[in-house]
Amino acid sequence: MNVDQILLLKGRNVVSIEADRSLGEAARLLSERRIGAVVVVDGRQPVSGILSERDIVRAIAAQGARALDEPVSRFMTGEVVTCTCLHSVNELMELMTQQKFRHVPVVEGGQLVGIISIGDVVKQHVEAVEAESQAIKEYIATA
Ligand code: AMP
């Protein structure tokens, strides 16, 4: 299973925010949309950063509630690892495990076309394992 097949099932909508918006706005967005990370955009490049709930927790731990008035640019990760539609689920699992993050934006032809979370990857993996186990059971029953 590849990234483009996951995007067909989950859709290509990506929740994003501009780097000059406040950390408080980003936190409200994560809460309202029930997601763990937002892609930071600037209108020039497909992805200019990523801000996850961990970045917000770190900011508040270091600066207290006043961090919420600071711009997203101060706390986002600027060097974002992205993937393409052709990456496989296994490659993404490996990437997320090695790099210790749970979100990978999908960039195709210089455009942001989706985002894959660890939840999407695990869901896909579990479904594939279940389908394989079912196929083996059916094979044994008819052998
Ligand atoms: P996460 O596990 O996705 O909540 O993110 C953990 C940390 O990695 C945070 O500091 C994020 O800003 C950063 N991060 C998340 N996704 C990526 C990514 N695709 N590329 C680079 N850094 C990331």
Residue spans per domain, the chain: 3-142
Tell whether ligand 1 has an atom less than 6 A from the beta carbon of residue 50. Answer: yes
Give the residue, by CA position, lying nearest to ligand 1 atom 5: 101
Ligand 1 lined by 6 (C-beta under 6 Å): no
Alpha-carbon span 5 to 70, nearest angstrom: 38
**Residues 61-89: pLDDT tens digits?**
999 999 999 999 999 999 999 999 999 99
> pTM of the full predicted structure?
0.92
CATH of region 3-142: 3.10.580.10
